[in-house]
Amino acid sequence: MAAVVSDRAGFPVVTLLVAAGGLALMALPGLSHWLVYDREHVLAGEVWRLVTGHAVHFSWSHAGWNLALFSLAGVWLERHARVPYLWLISCTALAGGLCFLVFMPDMARYGGLSGVVSAMVVYLALIEMRQPGPTRMLWGAILLLFAAKVGYELLVGRALFAAPGATPFEVAPVAHIIGAAVAAALFFAPSAIRRSA
């Protein structure tokens, strides 16, 4: 059984810094230009965009949904499992950017925390499903709803919740799939790897 509540932390500083950063980027859109995942700029050497692109959003609706879910799941995870949480968000952000670069040459630009949020929700659900009690079924249902949402977005090609703003964007369900895969990989990693992490 995964022991993920051993490193209880106090104030969820990482979660609040990321959420505040996302809001700041929406309020100061000029900064987003330097951080958004942009394939041409990454290939030109601006490799930080592989990770920082996740903090950029294309509409207030896009930012609102992502930052609200990131904050809710992040506060829980950071307070109960800070080290796995830091590994989770770091690995998901990097894996997403690298997958876009290597396997999706047609994706010119990407922004949004939804892949990272997907990883957090899946990881949280997996943790809670291992706990005894009646809430296990609730978390199983949350995983099914997550899968249904990703399936809908794959079929329809439109975000279920976030609405485009002045900058139109297309949903990228592959980011959600990458997030879920990273969460499952870290959760089911051999215990020796989890302990070293």
> Within 13 A of 9's CA, how many CA atoms are on the CB side?
19
Residue range 17-37, pLDDT digits in tens: 999 999 999 999 889 999 999
**Whether pLDDT at 147 is above 80:** yes
**Where do the structural domains in the chain lie, given as residue ranges?**
13-196
Q: What is the pTM of this model?
A: 0.87
CATH 1.20.1540.10 for domain 13-196, yes or no, is yes
**Whether pLDDT at 196 is above 60:** no
Residue range 45-93, pLDDT digits in tens: 999 999 999 999 988 888 999 999 999 999 999 998 899 999 999 999 9
Residue 106 DSSP one-character state: T
Residue range 111-135, pLDDT digits in tens: 999 999 999 999 999 999 998 888 8
Residues near 64 by beta carbon (within 8 Å), at least 6 away in sequence:
162
